């Protein structure tokens, strides 16, 4: 059976792509952020995943407001990035793990999740930038399975529903008849709001409490509905749902191996966690 080697959760703001392209990693503004990924990349070299299940939210490159599924799973042989209008250079395409994609689609459907199945799919910065942070050479030594969660068009799936999705993904991966090693990657957040009277909103105490909860009390964030989470984390901070789903995939227990938290990056609280299943 397949093995889940761990989970990484990370921010994905478009400005990261410009910083990478302009080679600003050692600039004082960016260095505390990029330095956080050194240990994560070292850990990846040790655990050597074969496939990455990427939990992320699309920002209009593949889905738009007129058609926004709650959950979508990619089943394509190849995933490409296109111009999003942010000035981010496009990066090399990714190879899909179609066997795992179809296994997940079947297992999640059996678990009563209503999915959109995408046999062709573009992936945006929420997918590409975390991958580039973890594999900066962009040679992609892994296959991928995109899992898109709507955090853009309200109503969005509840925190509890996303936790259950993560649990179901973890169960499906562990039941997959394969000897592959699988990494779960959850992207987005942490607290930020890009519009309205609270533009620039960051809630550091909540962010740190949420990060602590992922190992100490992982259902902590499910006590609030979506509106309450937006109040605490900002309109775009609801992207923490991907972190929650990624943690759910690890099962009952998880160990924190590394974290980084830095503010601000492009008006966003930038977080990173590396977690392993409980021993």
Residue given tokens 């984390």 in the structure block: 233
Other CB atoms within 10 A of residue 109 CB: 13
**How many angstroms separate the CA atoms of 168 and 157, rounded?**
15
Chain segment 17-59, per-residue pLDDT in tens: 889 999 999 999 999 999 999 999 999 999 999 999 999 999 8
pLDDT grade for 261, boundaries at 50, 70 and 90: very high
Under 8 Å between Cβ of 12 and 185: no
**How many angstroms separate the CA atoms of 277 and 266, rounded?**
32
Residue given tokens 């490409």 in the structure block: 80
**How many angstroms separate the CA atoms of 25 and 33, rounded?**
8
What pLDDT is recorded for position 198?
86
Kindly tell me if the per-residue pLDDT of 178 is higher than 80: yes
What pLDDT is recorded for position 266?
87
- Bridge-based pairing of strands 78-79 and 94-95 is antiparallel
Tokens of 75: 């089943």
Q: b or e along 219-229 (b: 16 or more beta carbons within 10 Å of the residue's beta carbon)? A: eebbebebeeb
**How many angstroms separate the CA atoms of 267 and 91, rounded?**
24
Residues designated as active site: 125, 192
**How many angstroms separate the CA atoms of 184 and 170, rounded?**
9
- Indicate the pTM of the whole model: 0.96
Kindly tell me if the per-residue pLDDT of 207 is higher than 80: yes
Q: Where are the beta strands (DSSP E) in 57-103?
A: 71-74, 78-79, 94-95
Kindly tell me if the per-residue pLDDT of 172 is higher than 90: yes
Q: What's the rounded mean pLDDT across residues 149-176?
A: 96
Containing structural domain, residue 122: 3-277
CA of residue 114 relative to chain centroid, distance: 20
What pLDDT is recorded for position 117?
97
pLDDT grade for 195, boundaries at 50, 70 and 90: confident
Q: Could you tell me how many residues make up the chain? A: 279
**How many angstroms separate the CA atoms of 215 and 229, rounded?**
19
Q: What is the CATH number of the domain that holds 204?
A: 3.40.830.10
Number of domains in the chain: 1
Mean of pLDDT over the chain: 94
What pLDDT is recorded for position 84?
81
Chain segment 49-108, per-residue pLDDT in tens: 999 999 999 988 888 888 899 999 999 999 999 888 777 888 899 999 999 999 999 999
Helix (H, G, I), strand (E, B) or coil at 243: helix
């Amino acid at each position: 059976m397949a093995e889940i080697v761990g989970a990484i959760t990370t921010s994905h703001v478009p400005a990261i792509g410009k910083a990478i392209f302009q080679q600003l990693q050692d600039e004082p503004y960016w260095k505390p952020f990029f330095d956080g990924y050194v240990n994560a990349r070292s850990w990846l070299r040790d655990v050597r995943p074969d496939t990455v299940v990427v939990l992320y939210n699309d920002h209009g490159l593949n889905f738009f407001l007129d058609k926004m599924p709650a959950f979508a799973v990619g089943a394509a042989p190849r995933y490409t990035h296109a111009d999003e209008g942010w000035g981010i250079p496009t990066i090399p395409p990714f190879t899909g793990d179609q066997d795992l994609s179809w296994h997940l689609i079947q297992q999640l459907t059996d678990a009563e999740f209503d999915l959109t199945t995408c046999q062709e799919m573009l992936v945006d910065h929420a997918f590409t930038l975390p991958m580039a942070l973890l594999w900066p050479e962009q040679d992609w030594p892994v296959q991928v399975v995109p899992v898109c969660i709507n955090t853009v068009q309200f109503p969005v799936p509840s925190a509890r529903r996303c936790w259950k999705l993560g649990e179901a993904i973890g169960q499906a991966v562990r039941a997959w008849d394969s000897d592959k090693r699988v990494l779960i990657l959850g992207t987005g957040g942490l607290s930020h709001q890009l519009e309205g009277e609270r533009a620039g909103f960051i809630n550091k105490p909540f962010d740190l409490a949420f990060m602590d909860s992922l190992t100490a009390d992982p259902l902590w964030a499910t006590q609030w509905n979506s509106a309450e989470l937006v109040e605490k984390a900002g309109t775009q901070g609801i992207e923490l749902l991907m972190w929650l789903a990624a943690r759910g995939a690890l099962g009952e227990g998880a160990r924190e191996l590394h974290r980084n938290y830095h503010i601000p990056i492009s008006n966003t609280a930038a977080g990173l966690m590396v977690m392993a299943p409980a021993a």
